[in-house]
Protein backbone atom coordinates (compact mmCIF):
# COMPACT_ATOMS: atom_id res chain seq x y z
CA UNK A 1 0.00 0.00 0.00
CA UNK A 2 1.02 3.57 -0.60
CA UNK A 3 2.44 4.85 2.70
CA UNK A 4 0.73 7.57 4.69
CA UNK A 5 3.45 10.18 4.23
CA UNK A 6 3.79 13.69 2.73
CA UNK A 7 5.58 12.36 -0.34
CA UNK A 8 2.55 10.18 -1.12
CA UNK A 9 0.37 13.26 -1.61
CA UNK A 10 -1.57 15.45 0.81
CA UNK A 11 -5.21 15.19 -0.31
CA UNK A 12 -7.51 12.65 1.38
CA UNK A 13 -10.97 12.74 -0.21
CA UNK A 14 -14.02 11.31 1.54
CA UNK A 15 -16.47 9.36 -0.62
CA UNK A 16 -19.69 7.75 0.62
CA UNK A 17 -19.37 3.97 0.42
CA UNK A 18 -23.01 3.99 -0.67
CA UNK A 19 -21.97 5.68 -3.95
CA UNK A 20 -19.83 3.13 -5.83
CA UNK A 21 -20.18 5.25 -8.96
CA UNK A 22 -17.90 7.77 -7.25
CA UNK A 23 -15.18 5.40 -6.02
CA UNK A 24 -12.94 5.63 -9.05
CA UNK A 25 -13.63 9.34 -9.45
CA UNK A 26 -12.40 9.91 -5.90
CA UNK A 27 -9.27 7.87 -6.57
CA UNK A 28 -8.62 9.77 -9.78
CA UNK A 29 -9.12 13.15 -8.11
CA UNK A 30 -7.17 12.75 -4.87
CA UNK A 31 -4.08 11.10 -3.44
CA UNK A 32 -6.14 8.88 -1.14
CA UNK A 33 -9.85 8.00 -1.25
CA UNK A 34 -11.63 7.45 2.07
CA UNK A 35 -14.60 5.18 1.36
CA UNK A 36 -16.90 6.09 4.20
CA UNK A 37 -19.21 3.60 5.92
CA UNK A 38 -19.83 5.91 8.88
CA UNK A 39 -21.15 9.49 8.81
CA UNK A 40 -21.66 9.69 5.04
CA UNK A 41 -24.09 6.75 5.06
CA UNK A 42 -27.55 6.84 6.62
CA UNK A 43 -28.30 4.01 9.08
CA UNK A 44 -30.83 2.47 6.72
CA UNK A 45 -28.26 2.36 3.91
CA UNK A 46 -25.29 0.86 5.75
CA UNK A 47 -25.98 -2.75 4.72
CA UNK A 48 -26.22 -1.83 1.04
CA UNK A 49 -23.08 0.35 1.37
CA UNK A 50 -21.15 -2.64 2.69
CA UNK A 51 -22.38 -4.72 -0.22
CA UNK A 52 -21.37 -1.98 -2.65
CA UNK A 53 -17.89 -2.00 -1.11
CA UNK A 54 -17.62 -5.73 -1.74
CA UNK A 55 -19.05 -5.71 -5.25
CA UNK A 56 -17.20 -2.67 -6.64
CA UNK A 57 -13.49 -3.15 -5.98
CA UNK A 58 -11.02 -0.41 -6.83
CA UNK A 59 -7.27 -0.23 -6.39
CA UNK A 60 -6.67 -0.82 -2.65
CA UNK A 61 -3.28 0.88 -2.70
CA UNK A 62 -4.70 4.34 -2.09
CA UNK A 63 -8.00 3.42 -0.39
CA UNK A 64 -8.87 3.93 3.26
CA UNK A 65 -12.18 2.55 4.51
CA UNK A 66 -13.76 4.48 7.37
CA UNK A 67 -15.61 1.92 9.43
CA UNK A 68 -18.15 2.62 12.12
CA UNK A 69 -17.01 3.20 15.68
CA UNK A 70 -15.68 0.36 17.79
CA UNK A 71 -18.40 -1.13 19.97
CA UNK A 72 -21.25 -0.44 17.57
CA UNK A 73 -23.11 -3.26 15.81
CA UNK A 74 -22.16 -1.75 12.46
CA UNK A 75 -18.46 -1.93 13.32
CA UNK A 76 -18.52 -5.71 13.53
CA UNK A 77 -20.51 -5.93 10.30
CA UNK A 78 -18.03 -3.59 8.58
CA UNK A 79 -15.11 -5.83 9.55
CA UNK A 80 -16.95 -8.89 8.27
CA UNK A 81 -17.56 -7.15 4.94
CA UNK A 82 -13.91 -6.12 4.68
CA UNK A 83 -12.90 -9.78 4.88
CA UNK A 84 -14.37 -10.08 1.39
CA UNK A 85 -12.27 -7.23 -0.03
CA UNK A 86 -8.60 -6.47 -0.63
CA UNK A 87 -8.69 -3.33 1.52
CA UNK A 88 -6.07 -3.38 4.24
CA UNK A 89 -6.25 0.14 5.67
CA UNK A 90 -9.10 1.46 7.79
CA UNK A 91 -9.99 4.66 9.61
CA UNK A 92 -11.47 4.18 13.07
CA UNK A 93 -13.73 7.07 14.12
CA UNK A 94 -14.15 8.24 17.71
CA UNK A 95 -10.98 6.36 18.63
CA UNK A 96 -10.73 6.16 22.42
CA UNK A 97 -9.69 2.63 23.40
CA UNK A 98 -6.06 1.67 22.64
CA UNK A 99 -6.64 -1.97 23.64
CA UNK A 100 -9.60 -2.34 21.28
CA UNK A 101 -7.68 -0.66 18.46
CA UNK A 102 -4.81 -3.10 19.01
CA UNK A 103 -7.22 -5.95 18.17
CA UNK A 104 -7.47 -4.57 14.62
CA UNK A 105 -3.94 -5.66 13.78
CA UNK A 106 -4.98 -7.27 10.51
CA UNK A 107 -5.25 -3.69 9.20
CA UNK A 108 -3.20 -0.54 9.05
CA UNK A 109 -5.24 1.82 11.22
CA UNK A 110 -5.76 5.55 11.03
CA UNK A 111 -7.16 6.52 14.42
CA UNK A 112 -9.56 9.45 14.28
CA UNK A 113 -9.25 11.29 17.60
CA UNK A 114 -12.41 13.37 17.66
CA UNK A 115 -13.70 13.20 21.23
CA UNK A 116 -12.30 14.73 24.40
CA UNK A 117 -11.19 11.29 25.61
CA UNK A 118 -9.69 10.40 22.26
CA UNK A 119 -7.65 13.59 22.08
CA UNK A 120 -6.34 13.14 25.62
CA UNK A 121 -5.34 9.55 24.79
CA UNK A 122 -3.89 10.38 21.37
CA UNK A 123 -0.30 9.65 22.41
CA UNK A 124 -1.24 6.25 23.85
CA UNK A 125 -3.30 5.44 20.76
CA UNK A 126 -0.34 6.35 18.54
CA UNK A 127 1.76 3.75 20.38
CA UNK A 128 -0.49 0.90 19.18
CA UNK A 129 1.60 -1.08 16.65
CA UNK A 130 -1.07 -1.23 13.93
CA UNK A 131 -1.70 2.55 14.05
CA UNK A 132 0.03 4.25 11.12
CA UNK A 133 -1.57 7.68 11.44
CA UNK A 134 -3.73 9.91 13.60
CA UNK A 135 -6.41 12.27 12.38
CA UNK A 136 -8.50 14.70 14.37
CA UNK A 137 -12.02 16.04 13.92
CA UNK A 138 -13.53 19.24 15.27
CA UNK A 139 -17.29 18.77 15.14
CA UNK A 140 -17.53 15.50 17.06
CA UNK A 141 -15.01 16.90 19.55
CA UNK A 142 -17.23 19.86 20.31
CA UNK A 143 -20.27 17.57 20.57
CA UNK A 144 -18.39 15.46 23.12
CA UNK A 145 -17.79 18.62 25.16
CA UNK A 146 -21.43 19.75 24.97
CA UNK A 147 -20.48 22.75 22.86
CA UNK A 148 -22.26 24.44 19.96
CA UNK A 149 -19.63 25.21 17.32
CA UNK A 150 -16.00 24.51 16.52
CA UNK A 151 -15.39 27.78 14.68
CA UNK A 152 -15.70 31.53 15.09
CA UNK A 153 -17.62 33.76 12.70
CA UNK A 154 -14.44 34.30 10.65
CA UNK A 155 -14.10 30.50 10.18
CA UNK A 156 -11.06 30.22 12.46
CA UNK A 157 -11.12 27.45 15.06
CA UNK A 158 -12.13 28.09 18.65
CA UNK A 159 -9.22 27.75 21.06
CA UNK A 160 -10.24 24.31 22.30
CA UNK A 161 -10.42 22.92 18.77
CA UNK A 162 -7.05 24.44 17.89
CA UNK A 163 -5.55 22.93 21.03
CA UNK A 164 -6.92 19.49 20.13
CA UNK A 165 -5.47 19.82 16.63
CA UNK A 166 -2.05 20.60 18.09
CA UNK A 167 -2.25 17.79 20.62
CA UNK A 168 -3.01 15.19 17.96
CA UNK A 169 -0.17 16.46 15.75
CA UNK A 170 2.27 16.38 18.67
CA UNK A 171 1.13 12.89 19.70
CA UNK A 172 1.65 11.59 16.19
CA UNK A 173 5.05 13.23 15.90
CA UNK A 174 6.18 11.92 19.27
CA UNK A 175 5.42 8.35 18.21
CA UNK A 176 6.70 8.68 14.65
CA UNK A 177 3.38 8.23 12.87
CA UNK A 178 1.70 10.53 10.36
CA UNK A 179 -0.94 13.12 11.22
CA UNK A 180 -3.83 14.11 8.96
CA UNK A 181 -5.60 17.45 9.32
CA UNK A 182 -9.39 17.70 9.57
CA UNK A 183 -11.83 18.65 6.82
CA UNK A 184 -13.13 22.12 6.01
CA UNK A 185 -16.90 21.99 5.49
CA UNK A 186 -17.20 25.42 3.85
CA UNK A 187 -17.55 24.85 0.09
CA UNK A 188 -18.39 28.49 -0.73
CA UNK A 189 -14.89 29.86 -0.14
CA UNK A 190 -11.45 28.29 -0.39
CA UNK A 191 -9.91 30.85 1.97
CA UNK A 192 -10.38 28.80 5.17
CA UNK A 193 -9.10 25.71 3.36
CA UNK A 194 -6.05 27.53 2.00
CA UNK A 195 -5.26 29.08 5.38
CA UNK A 196 -5.51 25.76 7.22
CA UNK A 197 -3.65 23.84 4.53
CA UNK A 198 -0.73 26.28 4.60
CA UNK A 199 -0.58 25.98 8.37
CA UNK A 200 -0.89 22.18 8.28
CA UNK A 201 1.88 21.77 5.71
CA UNK A 202 4.20 24.13 7.58
CA UNK A 203 3.48 22.42 10.91
CA UNK A 204 4.19 18.86 9.78
CA UNK A 205 0.84 17.26 8.94
CA UNK A 206 1.20 14.56 6.29
CA UNK A 207 -1.99 15.67 4.56
CA UNK A 208 -5.47 17.11 4.89
CA UNK A 209 -8.85 15.45 4.50
CA UNK A 210 -11.49 17.00 2.26
CA UNK A 211 -15.10 16.43 1.29
CA UNK A 212 -15.26 17.63 -2.32
CA UNK A 213 -13.03 17.11 -5.37
CA UNK A 214 -12.84 20.88 -5.86
CA UNK A 215 -10.86 21.11 -2.62
CA UNK A 216 -8.11 18.77 -3.77
CA UNK A 217 -6.10 21.18 -5.90
CA UNK A 218 -6.23 23.88 -3.23
CA UNK A 219 -4.71 21.43 -0.75
CA UNK A 220 -2.02 20.29 -3.18
CA UNK A 221 -1.14 23.87 -4.14
CA UNK A 222 -0.67 24.97 -0.55
CA UNK A 223 1.38 21.88 0.31
CA UNK A 224 3.94 22.68 -2.38
CA UNK A 225 6.67 24.98 -0.96
CA UNK A 226 6.51 28.46 -2.48
CA UNK A 227 9.27 29.80 -4.71
CA UNK A 228 10.29 32.16 -1.88
CA UNK A 229 10.57 29.25 0.55
CA UNK A 230 12.66 27.24 -1.92
CA UNK A 231 14.90 30.27 -2.54
CA UNK A 232 15.40 30.77 1.20
CA UNK A 233 16.20 27.07 1.73
CA UNK A 234 18.82 27.11 -1.01
CA UNK A 235 20.38 30.25 0.42
CA UNK A 236 20.60 28.59 3.82
CA UNK A 237 22.28 25.46 2.49
CA UNK A 238 24.59 27.47 0.22
CA UNK A 239 25.68 29.58 3.19
CA UNK A 240 26.42 26.51 5.28
CA UNK A 241 28.21 24.68 2.47
CA UNK A 242 30.22 27.76 1.53
CA UNK A 243 31.79 28.00 4.95
CA UNK A 244 31.17 31.74 5.18
CA UNK A 245 29.24 33.77 7.70
CA UNK A 246 26.06 31.82 8.21
CA UNK A 247 23.54 34.62 8.07
CA UNK A 248 20.63 34.61 5.63
CA UNK A 249 18.11 37.45 5.44
CA UNK A 250 19.21 38.66 8.85
CA UNK A 251 18.88 35.26 10.51
CA UNK A 252 21.83 33.53 12.11
CA UNK A 253 21.71 30.00 10.70
CA UNK A 254 21.94 27.17 13.22
CA UNK A 255 21.41 23.44 12.81
CA UNK A 256 17.59 23.45 13.32
CA UNK A 257 17.22 26.02 10.51
CA UNK A 258 19.45 23.88 8.29
CA UNK A 259 17.17 20.91 8.90
CA UNK A 260 14.12 23.05 8.14
CA UNK A 261 15.72 24.13 4.86
CA UNK A 262 16.36 20.52 3.94
CA UNK A 263 12.73 19.70 4.65
CA UNK A 264 11.60 22.50 2.34
CA UNK A 265 13.76 21.25 -0.55
CA UNK A 266 12.70 17.65 0.06
CA UNK A 267 9.02 18.65 -0.13
CA UNK A 268 9.72 20.70 -3.26
CA UNK A 269 11.25 17.67 -4.97
CA UNK A 270 8.57 15.10 -3.99
- Ranges of each domain in the chain: 6-223, 227-269
Residue 250's pLDDT is: 62
Question: Please, where are the H alpha helices in 159-254?
Answer: 159-175, 191-203, 216-223, 227-242
**Residue percentage of the chain with pLDDT more than 90:** 76
If one compares 179 and 2, the residue with the highest pLDDT of the two is: 179
Please, what is the Cα angle at 25 between 27 and 39, to 5 degrees?
A: 80
* Helix 46-55 × helix 73-82 angle, to 10°: 10
- The pTM of the full predicted model, rounded to 2 decimals, is 0.89
> Is residue 1 scored above 90 in pLDDT?
no
For the stretch 25-31, contacts whose Cβ atoms lie closer than 8 Å and that sit 24 or more positions apart, written own/partner, are: 25/213, 26/213, 27/58, 27/59, 27/62, 27/63, 29/213, 29/216, 30/210, 30/213, 30/216, 31/62, 31/207, 31/220
If one compares 239 and 248, the residue with the highest pLDDT of the two is: 239
Quick one: the chain helix, strand, coil %, rounded to 5? Answer: 50, 15, 35
**Is it true that domain 6-223 has CATH number 3.40.50.10090?**
no
Q: Share the mean pLDDT of the chain.
A: 91
Q: What secondary structure letter does DSSP report for 30?
A: S
Residue 252's pLDDT is: 66
pLDDT, tens digit, 9 for 90 and up, residues 117-153:
999 999 999 999 999 999 999 999 999 999 999 999 9
Question: Please, where are the H alpha helices in 60-121?
Answer: 73-82, 98-102, 116-120
CB 68 within 8 A of CB 37: yes
Which band of pLDDT confidence, cut at 50, 70 and 90, is reported for residue 244? very low
Amino acid sequence: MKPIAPESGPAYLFCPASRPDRYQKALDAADFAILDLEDAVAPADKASARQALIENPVDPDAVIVRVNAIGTPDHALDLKALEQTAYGRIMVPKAEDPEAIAQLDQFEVIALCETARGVLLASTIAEVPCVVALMWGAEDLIVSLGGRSSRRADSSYLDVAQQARSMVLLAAGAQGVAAIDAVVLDLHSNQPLQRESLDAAASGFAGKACIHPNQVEAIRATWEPSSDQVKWARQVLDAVNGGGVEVVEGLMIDEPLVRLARNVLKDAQD
